[in-house]
Structure 1
Amino acid sequence: MSFDHRTPMDQTRGTDRARDRRNRVVAIGLSAVVVAGLLGFGTYMLLEKSEAKENDGASRAQDGKQTEQTEQERKKLAAEPIADERTWDAKTLTRHHVGTDVKYPMKPPVGGNHNPAWLNCDGVVYEKAVPDVNAVHALEHGAVWVTHNGKASPDDIGRLASRVRSTPFSLMSPYEGQAGAIMLSAWGKQVTVDGADDPRVARFFARYVQGAQTPEPGAPCTGGIDG
Protein backbone atom coordinates (compact mmCIF):
# COMPACT_ATOMS: atom_id res chain seq x y z
CA MET A 1 0.00 0.00 0.00
CA SER A 2 1.36 3.39 -0.94
CA PHE A 3 0.48 6.69 0.59
CA ASP A 4 0.63 10.18 -0.91
CA HIS A 5 2.51 12.14 1.70
CA ARG A 6 1.62 15.48 0.08
CA THR A 7 -0.82 17.69 1.85
CA PRO A 8 -4.13 18.48 0.13
CA MET A 9 -2.81 21.92 -0.76
CA ASP A 10 0.27 20.39 -2.42
CA GLN A 11 -1.95 18.03 -4.35
CA THR A 12 -4.09 20.92 -5.56
CA ARG A 13 -0.99 22.84 -6.66
CA GLY A 14 0.25 19.81 -8.56
CA THR A 15 -3.06 19.45 -10.32
CA ASP A 16 -3.01 23.13 -11.26
CA ARG A 17 0.51 22.85 -12.63
CA ALA A 18 -0.47 19.83 -14.69
CA ARG A 19 -3.48 21.68 -16.02
CA ASP A 20 -1.33 24.67 -16.87
CA ARG A 21 1.08 22.43 -18.78
CA ARG A 22 -1.78 20.86 -20.70
CA ASN A 23 -3.19 24.31 -21.53
CA ARG A 24 0.20 25.49 -22.75
CA VAL A 25 0.57 22.40 -24.91
CA VAL A 26 -2.90 22.92 -26.37
CA ALA A 27 -2.25 26.62 -26.93
CA ILE A 28 1.05 25.87 -28.65
CA GLY A 29 -0.63 23.25 -30.81
CA LEU A 30 -3.43 25.61 -31.79
CA SER A 31 -0.93 28.37 -32.55
CA ALA A 32 0.99 26.00 -34.80
CA VAL A 33 -2.22 25.10 -36.63
CA VAL A 34 -3.15 28.77 -37.06
CA VAL A 35 0.33 29.69 -38.31
CA ALA A 36 0.31 26.78 -40.73
CA GLY A 37 -3.13 27.84 -41.96
CA LEU A 38 -2.02 31.42 -42.43
CA LEU A 39 1.09 30.31 -44.30
CA GLY A 40 -0.98 28.06 -46.51
CA PHE A 41 -3.54 30.81 -47.18
CA GLY A 42 -0.78 33.30 -47.91
CA THR A 43 0.84 30.92 -50.36
CA TYR A 44 -2.54 30.31 -52.02
CA MET A 45 -3.19 34.04 -52.37
CA LEU A 46 0.26 34.63 -53.82
CA LEU A 47 -0.32 31.89 -56.37
CA GLU A 48 -3.77 33.27 -57.18
CA LYS A 49 -2.41 36.79 -57.66
CA SER A 50 0.45 35.50 -59.77
CA GLU A 51 -1.91 33.50 -61.95
CA ALA A 52 -4.33 36.42 -62.22
CA LYS A 53 -1.45 38.72 -63.21
CA GLU A 54 -0.31 36.27 -65.85
CA ASN A 55 -3.84 35.90 -67.19
CA ASP A 56 -4.35 39.67 -67.19
CA GLY A 57 -1.08 40.16 -69.02
CA ALA A 58 -2.01 37.54 -71.57
CA SER A 59 -5.43 39.15 -72.01
CA ARG A 60 -3.91 42.60 -72.58
CA ALA A 61 -1.45 41.14 -75.05
CA GLN A 62 -4.29 39.42 -76.90
CA ASP A 63 -6.39 42.60 -76.90
CA GLY A 64 -3.41 44.55 -78.19
CA LYS A 65 -2.85 42.02 -80.93
CA GLN A 66 -6.53 42.13 -81.94
CA THR A 67 -6.48 45.94 -81.94
CA GLU A 68 -3.36 45.90 -84.10
CA GLN A 69 -4.97 43.43 -86.50
CA THR A 70 -8.14 45.52 -86.65
CA GLU A 71 -6.14 48.67 -87.36
CA GLN A 72 -4.21 46.86 -90.07
CA GLU A 73 -7.47 45.69 -91.63
CA ARG A 74 -8.87 49.22 -91.47
CA LYS A 75 -5.79 50.65 -93.18
CA LYS A 76 -5.98 47.97 -95.85
CA LEU A 77 -9.64 48.74 -96.53
CA ALA A 78 -8.99 52.48 -96.53
CA ALA A 79 -6.32 52.04 -99.20
CA GLU A 80 -8.61 50.16 -101.59
CA PRO A 81 -10.30 52.12 -104.41
CA ILE A 82 -13.94 53.22 -104.11
CA ALA A 83 -15.48 52.93 -107.56
CA ASP A 84 -17.74 55.77 -108.73
CA GLU A 85 -16.93 57.92 -105.73
CA ARG A 86 -17.61 61.63 -106.21
CA THR A 87 -15.27 64.26 -104.79
CA TRP A 88 -15.72 68.00 -104.27
CA ASP A 89 -12.79 70.37 -103.88
CA ALA A 90 -12.54 71.14 -100.19
CA LYS A 91 -11.54 74.73 -101.00
CA THR A 92 -14.94 75.37 -102.57
CA LEU A 93 -16.88 74.05 -99.58
CA THR A 94 -17.39 77.04 -97.32
CA ARG A 95 -17.64 76.47 -93.58
CA HIS A 96 -19.41 79.47 -92.13
CA HIS A 97 -21.94 79.13 -89.32
CA VAL A 98 -25.36 80.44 -90.35
CA GLY A 99 -28.74 80.58 -88.68
CA THR A 100 -30.77 80.10 -91.85
CA ASP A 101 -31.42 77.26 -94.28
CA VAL A 102 -28.78 76.62 -96.92
CA LYS A 103 -29.43 75.60 -100.51
CA TYR A 104 -26.85 72.91 -101.22
CA PRO A 105 -25.89 71.91 -104.79
CA MET A 106 -25.94 68.20 -103.99
CA LYS A 107 -28.31 65.82 -102.22
CA PRO A 108 -27.42 64.86 -99.58
CA PRO A 109 -24.98 67.73 -99.02
CA VAL A 110 -21.33 66.95 -98.40
CA GLY A 111 -20.19 70.33 -97.10
CA GLY A 112 -20.76 74.05 -97.10
CA ASN A 113 -22.13 76.59 -94.65
CA HIS A 114 -24.06 75.02 -91.80
CA ASN A 115 -25.84 75.55 -88.52
CA PRO A 116 -23.71 76.17 -85.39
CA ALA A 117 -25.26 73.06 -83.78
CA TRP A 118 -24.04 69.74 -85.11
CA LEU A 119 -26.19 66.64 -85.33
CA ASN A 120 -25.33 63.96 -82.77
CA CYS A 121 -23.43 61.36 -84.75
CA ASP A 122 -21.99 58.91 -82.24
CA GLY A 123 -23.43 55.89 -84.04
CA VAL A 124 -26.96 57.32 -84.21
CA VAL A 125 -29.71 55.93 -86.45
CA TYR A 126 -32.48 58.47 -87.06
CA GLU A 127 -35.89 57.15 -88.03
CA LYS A 128 -36.94 60.46 -89.61
CA ALA A 129 -35.25 62.95 -91.93
CA VAL A 130 -32.79 65.32 -90.27
CA PRO A 131 -31.92 68.94 -91.12
CA ASP A 132 -29.19 69.26 -93.74
CA VAL A 133 -27.58 72.22 -91.98
CA ASN A 134 -26.98 70.19 -88.81
CA ALA A 135 -25.91 67.02 -90.61
CA VAL A 136 -23.29 68.96 -92.60
CA HIS A 137 -21.82 70.20 -89.33
CA ALA A 138 -21.49 66.54 -88.26
CA LEU A 139 -19.61 65.82 -91.49
CA GLU A 140 -17.27 68.68 -90.65
CA HIS A 141 -16.44 66.79 -87.43
CA GLY A 142 -15.47 63.69 -89.41
CA ALA A 143 -18.73 61.72 -89.49
CA VAL A 144 -19.96 59.42 -92.25
CA TRP A 145 -23.64 59.90 -93.09
CA VAL A 146 -25.64 56.95 -94.47
CA THR A 147 -28.90 57.90 -96.19
CA HIS A 148 -31.68 55.93 -97.91
CA ASN A 149 -34.70 57.06 -99.93
CA GLY A 150 -37.18 54.27 -99.21
CA LYS A 151 -36.19 52.06 -102.14
CA ALA A 152 -33.60 50.04 -100.22
CA SER A 153 -34.65 46.65 -98.83
CA PRO A 154 -35.46 46.35 -95.11
CA ASP A 155 -32.60 43.85 -94.81
CA ASP A 156 -30.07 46.33 -96.23
CA ILE A 157 -31.37 49.10 -94.01
CA GLY A 158 -31.18 46.86 -90.94
CA ARG A 159 -27.59 45.78 -91.63
CA LEU A 160 -26.45 49.31 -92.36
CA ALA A 161 -28.14 50.48 -89.17
CA SER A 162 -26.20 47.84 -87.22
CA ARG A 163 -22.94 49.07 -88.73
CA VAL A 164 -23.75 52.67 -87.85
CA ARG A 165 -24.76 51.83 -84.27
CA SER A 166 -21.41 50.12 -83.73
CA THR A 167 -19.37 52.94 -85.32
CA PRO A 168 -18.65 56.21 -83.52
CA PHE A 169 -18.69 59.25 -85.82
CA SER A 170 -21.43 57.93 -88.06
CA LEU A 171 -25.15 58.52 -88.49
CA MET A 172 -28.00 57.29 -90.63
CA SER A 173 -31.31 58.78 -91.73
CA PRO A 174 -33.95 58.69 -94.49
CA TYR A 175 -33.45 61.23 -97.27
CA GLU A 176 -36.07 61.96 -99.87
CA GLY A 177 -34.92 63.22 -103.23
CA GLN A 178 -31.51 61.56 -103.35
CA ALA A 179 -30.60 59.80 -106.60
CA GLY A 180 -29.57 56.42 -105.20
CA ALA A 181 -31.38 54.03 -102.89
CA ILE A 182 -28.42 54.05 -100.48
CA MET A 183 -25.79 56.77 -100.37
CA LEU A 184 -22.78 57.40 -98.13
CA SER A 185 -21.48 60.91 -97.55
CA ALA A 186 -18.48 62.45 -95.82
CA TRP A 187 -17.07 65.96 -96.05
CA GLY A 188 -16.41 66.45 -99.78
CA LYS A 189 -17.02 62.75 -100.55
CA GLN A 190 -20.02 60.71 -101.66
CA VAL A 191 -20.87 57.36 -103.21
CA THR A 192 -24.01 55.44 -104.14
CA VAL A 193 -23.86 51.74 -103.21
CA ASP A 194 -25.90 48.74 -104.26
CA GLY A 195 -26.60 47.36 -100.79
CA ALA A 196 -25.26 46.70 -97.31
CA ASP A 197 -22.87 44.02 -98.57
CA ASP A 198 -21.35 46.28 -101.24
CA PRO A 199 -17.58 46.26 -100.48
CA ARG A 200 -17.51 50.03 -100.96
CA VAL A 201 -19.43 50.45 -97.70
CA ALA A 202 -16.59 49.05 -95.59
CA ARG A 203 -14.01 50.97 -97.62
CA PHE A 204 -15.88 54.25 -97.26
CA PHE A 205 -16.21 53.83 -93.49
CA ALA A 206 -12.58 52.81 -93.13
CA ARG A 207 -11.33 55.79 -95.12
CA TYR A 208 -13.63 58.59 -94.02
CA VAL A 209 -14.74 58.01 -90.42
CA GLN A 210 -12.50 60.65 -88.82
CA GLY A 211 -10.47 60.48 -92.03
CA ALA A 212 -7.99 62.86 -93.60
CA GLN A 213 -10.84 64.85 -95.20
CA THR A 214 -12.13 65.95 -91.77
CA PRO A 215 -11.97 69.77 -91.50
CA GLU A 216 -12.19 69.71 -87.69
CA PRO A 217 -10.41 66.57 -86.44
CA GLY A 218 -10.99 65.97 -82.76
CA ALA A 219 -14.32 67.81 -82.67
CA PRO A 220 -17.07 65.84 -80.87
CA CYS A 221 -20.02 63.91 -82.25
CA THR A 222 -21.96 64.18 -79.00
CA GLY A 223 -23.39 67.20 -77.22
CA GLY A 224 -25.20 68.41 -80.33
CA ILE A 225 -28.86 68.05 -81.29
CA ASP A 226 -31.01 65.02 -82.14
CA GLY A 227 -32.52 66.05 -85.42
Structure 2
Amino acid sequence: MASKSQSAERKARIEEMRRAERARERRNRIITITASAVVVVALVGFGGYILNKESDKKEQQQAAAKAPIKDEKSWDVKKLGRNHVTEPVKYPMTPPVGGDHNQVWMNCQGDVYKEPVPDVNAVHSLEHGAVWVTYNDKASDADVKTLGEKVEKTPYSLMSPVKEQPGAIMLSAWGKQVSVESAGDPRVDQFLTKYVQGAQTPEPGAACTGGMGAQ
Protein backbone atom coordinates (compact mmCIF):
# COMPACT_ATOMS: atom_id res chain seq x y z
CA MET A 1 0.00 0.00 0.00
CA ALA A 2 2.83 2.35 0.82
CA SER A 3 4.34 1.82 -2.62
CA LYS A 4 1.03 2.62 -4.33
CA SER A 5 0.62 5.73 -2.17
CA GLN A 6 4.14 6.93 -2.99
CA SER A 7 3.54 6.30 -6.68
CA ALA A 8 0.32 8.29 -6.59
CA GLU A 9 2.06 11.17 -4.78
CA ARG A 10 4.90 11.12 -7.31
CA LYS A 11 2.42 11.28 -10.22
CA ALA A 12 0.59 14.11 -8.47
CA ARG A 13 3.85 16.05 -8.02
CA ILE A 14 4.81 15.47 -11.66
CA GLU A 15 1.39 16.64 -12.82
CA GLU A 16 1.64 19.69 -10.57
CA MET A 17 5.07 20.48 -12.00
CA ARG A 18 3.70 20.11 -15.52
CA ARG A 19 0.81 22.46 -14.73
CA ALA A 20 3.24 24.96 -13.24
CA GLU A 21 5.45 24.71 -16.36
CA ARG A 22 2.47 25.21 -18.64
CA ALA A 23 1.42 28.21 -16.56
CA ARG A 24 4.96 29.70 -16.83
CA GLU A 25 4.93 29.15 -20.60
CA ARG A 26 1.56 30.91 -20.87
CA ARG A 27 2.83 33.83 -18.79
CA ASN A 28 5.99 34.05 -20.89
CA ARG A 29 3.96 34.04 -24.10
CA ILE A 30 1.69 36.76 -22.75
CA ILE A 31 4.71 38.83 -21.68
CA THR A 32 6.39 38.34 -25.08
CA ILE A 33 3.23 39.22 -27.02
CA THR A 34 2.58 42.25 -24.82
CA ALA A 35 6.17 43.48 -25.16
CA SER A 36 6.06 42.98 -28.92
CA ALA A 37 2.80 44.89 -29.13
CA VAL A 38 4.28 47.74 -27.09
CA VAL A 39 7.32 47.87 -29.41
CA VAL A 40 5.12 47.85 -32.52
CA VAL A 41 2.91 50.60 -31.13
CA ALA A 42 5.98 52.65 -30.21
CA LEU A 43 7.50 52.18 -33.69
CA VAL A 44 4.25 53.08 -35.40
CA GLY A 45 3.88 56.12 -33.17
CA PHE A 46 7.48 57.22 -33.81
CA GLY A 47 7.06 56.65 -37.53
CA GLY A 48 3.90 58.72 -37.52
CA TYR A 49 5.70 61.46 -35.58
CA ILE A 50 8.53 61.54 -38.14
CA LEU A 51 6.10 61.60 -41.06
CA ASN A 52 4.09 64.39 -39.46
CA LYS A 53 7.26 66.32 -38.74
CA GLU A 54 8.46 65.95 -42.33
CA SER A 55 5.02 66.92 -43.58
CA ASP A 56 5.00 70.01 -41.37
CA LYS A 57 8.49 70.93 -42.61
CA LYS A 58 7.41 70.54 -46.23
CA GLU A 59 4.32 72.66 -45.62
CA GLN A 60 6.45 75.35 -43.98
CA GLN A 61 8.83 75.33 -46.96
CA GLN A 62 5.94 75.57 -49.40
CA ALA A 63 4.45 78.44 -47.41
CA ALA A 64 7.83 80.21 -47.37
CA ALA A 65 8.12 79.76 -51.13
CA LYS A 66 4.79 81.54 -51.63
CA ALA A 67 5.10 84.26 -49.00
CA PRO A 68 6.29 87.73 -50.06
CA ILE A 69 9.73 88.73 -48.81
CA LYS A 70 9.91 92.06 -47.02
CA ASP A 71 11.73 94.81 -48.96
CA GLU A 72 12.49 92.46 -51.86
CA LYS A 73 13.22 94.16 -55.19
CA SER A 74 12.12 92.75 -58.53
CA TRP A 75 13.09 93.59 -62.11
CA ASP A 76 11.53 92.85 -65.48
CA VAL A 77 14.33 90.61 -66.68
CA LYS A 78 12.86 90.48 -70.19
CA LYS A 79 14.15 94.01 -70.58
CA LEU A 80 17.63 93.06 -69.36
CA GLY A 81 18.43 90.50 -72.07
CA ARG A 82 19.80 86.96 -71.92
CA ASN A 83 22.35 86.91 -74.69
CA HIS A 84 25.76 85.25 -74.46
CA VAL A 85 28.47 87.86 -74.85
CA THR A 86 32.25 87.95 -74.65
CA GLU A 87 32.65 91.61 -73.65
CA PRO A 88 32.03 93.15 -70.20
CA VAL A 89 28.44 94.12 -69.38
CA LYS A 90 27.37 97.26 -67.53
CA TYR A 91 24.53 96.17 -65.28
CA PRO A 92 21.98 98.64 -63.83
CA MET A 93 22.20 97.14 -60.33
CA THR A 94 24.95 95.82 -58.02
CA PRO A 95 25.13 92.87 -57.78
CA PRO A 96 23.36 92.17 -61.08
CA VAL A 97 20.23 90.01 -61.12
CA GLY A 98 20.05 89.25 -64.82
CA GLY A 99 20.94 90.40 -68.28
CA ASP A 100 23.43 89.46 -70.97
CA HIS A 101 26.22 87.27 -69.66
CA ASN A 102 29.20 85.12 -70.49
CA GLN A 103 28.52 81.65 -71.89
CA VAL A 104 30.43 80.09 -68.94
CA TRP A 105 28.71 80.07 -65.55
CA MET A 106 30.34 80.23 -62.13
CA ASN A 107 30.22 76.88 -60.35
CA CYS A 108 27.31 77.20 -57.94
CA GLN A 109 26.97 73.86 -56.18
CA GLY A 110 27.40 75.45 -52.76
CA ASP A 111 30.63 77.17 -53.85
CA VAL A 112 32.06 79.84 -51.52
CA TYR A 113 34.53 82.21 -53.20
CA LYS A 114 36.88 84.26 -51.03
CA GLU A 115 37.62 86.71 -53.85
CA PRO A 116 35.25 88.62 -56.17
CA VAL A 117 33.92 86.69 -59.17
CA PRO A 118 33.09 88.14 -62.60
CA ASP A 119 29.53 89.44 -62.79
CA VAL A 120 29.04 88.07 -66.30
CA ASN A 121 29.69 84.52 -65.08
CA ALA A 122 27.68 84.81 -61.86
CA VAL A 123 24.66 86.10 -63.81
CA HIS A 124 24.78 82.93 -65.91
CA SER A 125 24.57 80.95 -62.63
CA LEU A 126 21.43 82.90 -61.72
CA GLU A 127 19.96 81.92 -65.08
CA HIS A 128 20.44 78.29 -64.01
CA GLY A 129 18.42 78.87 -60.84
CA ALA A 130 21.21 79.66 -58.36
CA VAL A 131 21.05 82.18 -55.52
CA TRP A 132 24.10 84.41 -55.24
CA VAL A 133 24.94 85.50 -51.68
CA THR A 134 27.24 88.53 -51.53
CA TYR A 135 28.70 90.72 -48.80
CA ASN A 136 30.96 93.73 -48.30
CA ASP A 137 33.16 95.17 -45.54
CA LYS A 138 30.10 96.10 -43.47
CA ALA A 139 29.34 92.41 -42.82
CA SER A 140 30.90 90.94 -39.67
CA ASP A 141 33.33 88.03 -39.84
CA ALA A 142 30.86 85.92 -37.88
CA ASP A 143 28.08 86.62 -40.39
CA VAL A 144 30.37 85.81 -43.32
CA LYS A 145 31.31 82.51 -41.67
CA THR A 146 27.67 81.63 -40.96
CA LEU A 147 26.61 82.46 -44.50
CA GLY A 148 29.49 80.45 -45.96
CA GLU A 149 28.48 77.37 -43.96
CA LYS A 150 24.86 77.79 -45.10
CA VAL A 151 25.84 78.15 -48.76
CA GLU A 152 28.12 75.11 -48.63
CA LYS A 153 25.08 73.02 -47.63
CA THR A 154 22.87 74.49 -50.37
CA PRO A 155 23.11 73.16 -53.92
CA TYR A 156 22.48 75.84 -56.56
CA SER A 157 24.00 78.63 -54.52
CA LEU A 158 27.28 80.53 -54.50
CA MET A 159 28.84 83.23 -52.36
CA SER A 160 31.45 85.92 -52.94
CA PRO A 161 32.42 89.43 -51.77
CA VAL A 162 31.13 92.46 -53.71
CA LYS A 163 32.76 95.53 -52.23
CA GLU A 164 30.68 98.04 -54.20
CA GLN A 165 27.25 96.74 -53.20
CA PRO A 166 25.06 99.05 -51.09
CA GLY A 167 24.00 96.53 -48.43
CA ALA A 168 26.14 94.59 -45.96
CA ILE A 169 24.65 91.26 -47.11
CA MET A 170 22.63 90.78 -50.30
CA LEU A 171 20.95 87.79 -51.88
CA SER A 172 20.27 87.75 -55.61
CA ALA A 173 18.32 85.45 -57.90
CA TRP A 174 17.23 85.93 -61.52
CA GLY A 175 15.26 89.19 -61.36
CA LYS A 176 15.07 89.18 -57.53
CA GLN A 177 17.15 90.71 -54.75
CA VAL A 178 17.00 91.48 -51.05
CA SER A 179 19.41 93.22 -48.69
CA VAL A 180 19.82 92.23 -45.01
CA GLU A 181 22.05 93.37 -42.18
CA SER A 182 22.89 90.02 -40.60
CA ALA A 183 23.10 86.31 -41.38
CA GLY A 184 20.44 85.68 -38.73
CA ASP A 185 17.78 87.62 -40.63
CA PRO A 186 14.95 85.13 -41.40
CA ARG A 187 14.77 86.50 -44.94
CA VAL A 188 18.05 84.72 -45.74
CA ASP A 189 16.46 81.28 -45.39
CA GLN A 190 13.23 82.53 -46.92
CA PHE A 191 15.02 83.82 -50.02
CA LEU A 192 17.02 80.60 -50.44
CA THR A 193 13.90 78.47 -50.01
CA LYS A 194 11.91 80.54 -52.48
CA TYR A 195 14.47 81.11 -55.23
CA VAL A 196 16.92 78.19 -55.32
CA GLN A 197 15.64 76.56 -58.52
CA GLY A 198 12.54 78.68 -58.00
CA ALA A 199 9.77 79.66 -60.41
CA GLN A 200 11.81 82.64 -61.64
CA THR A 201 14.52 80.34 -63.08
CA PRO A 202 14.86 80.69 -66.88
CA GLU A 203 16.75 77.39 -67.22
CA PRO A 204 15.69 75.09 -64.34
CA GLY A 205 17.87 72.03 -63.91
CA ALA A 206 20.79 73.44 -65.88
CA ALA A 207 24.24 72.59 -64.51
CA CYS A 208 25.88 74.31 -61.58
CA THR A 209 29.13 72.40 -62.00
CA GLY A 210 31.56 72.20 -64.89
CA GLY A 211 31.74 75.96 -65.23
CA MET A 212 34.26 78.48 -63.92
CA GLY A 213 35.84 77.76 -60.53
CA ALA A 214 37.80 79.81 -58.03
CA GLN A 215 40.08 82.44 -59.51
Using the TM superposition, give the Cα deviation of residue 78 of structure 1 relative to its aligned residue in structure 2, in angstroms: 1.7
1:87 corresponds in structure 2 to 74
Q: Which has the larger radius of gyration?
A: 1
Residues 33-57 of structure 1 show CA distances to partners (whole Å, capped at 9, x for unaligned) of: xxxxxxxxxxxxxxxxxxxxx9xx9
Between the aligned partners of 1:74 and 1:123, the Cα distance in structure 2 is 19
Cα 1:66–1:224 shift into 2, 3 Å: farther
Identity %: 56
Residues 100-148 of structure 1 show CA distances to partners (whole Å, capped at 9, x for unaligned) of: 1111111000000000000000001100000000000000000000000
Tell me, yes or no, if structure 1 residue 213 matches structure 2 residue 200.
yes
Between the aligned partners of 1:226 and 1:196, the Cα distance in structure 2 is 25
TM-score normalized by the length of structure 1: 0.70
Cα 1:60–1:100 shift into 2, 3 Å: farther
Tell me, yes or no, if structure 1 residue 141 matches structure 2 residue 128.
yes
Tell me, yes or no, if structure 1 residue 155 matches structure 2 residue 142.
yes
2:160 corresponds in structure 1 to 173
Q: Cα RMSD (Å) of the superposition?
A: 2.1
Q: Do 2:77 and 2:99's aligned partners in 1 also have CA atoms closer than 8 Å?
A: no
Cα 1:137–1:180 shift into 2, 3 Å: same
Between the aligned partners of 2:95 and 2:186, the Cα distance in structure 1 is 21
Structure 1 unpaired stretches of 5+: 1-53
Residues 78-101 of structure 1 show CA distances to partners (whole Å, capped at 9, x for unaligned) of: 222211111001221210001111
Cα 1:196–1:97 shift into 2, 3 Å: same
TM-score normalized by the length of structure 2: 0.74
Tell me, yes or no, if structure 1 residue 121 matches structure 2 residue 108.
yes
Tell me, yes or no, if structure 1 residue 100 matches structure 2 residue 87.
yes
Q: Structure 1 counterpart of 2:101, which letter?
A: H
Q: How many residues align?
A: 172
Tell me, yes or no, if structure 1 residue 74 matches structure 2 residue 70.
no
Q: Structure 1 counterpart of 2:149, which letter?
A: S
Structure 2 unpaired stretches of 5+: 1-39
Between the aligned partners of 1:191 and 1:200, the Cα distance in structure 2 is 8
Cα 1:118–1:153 shift into 2, 3 Å: same
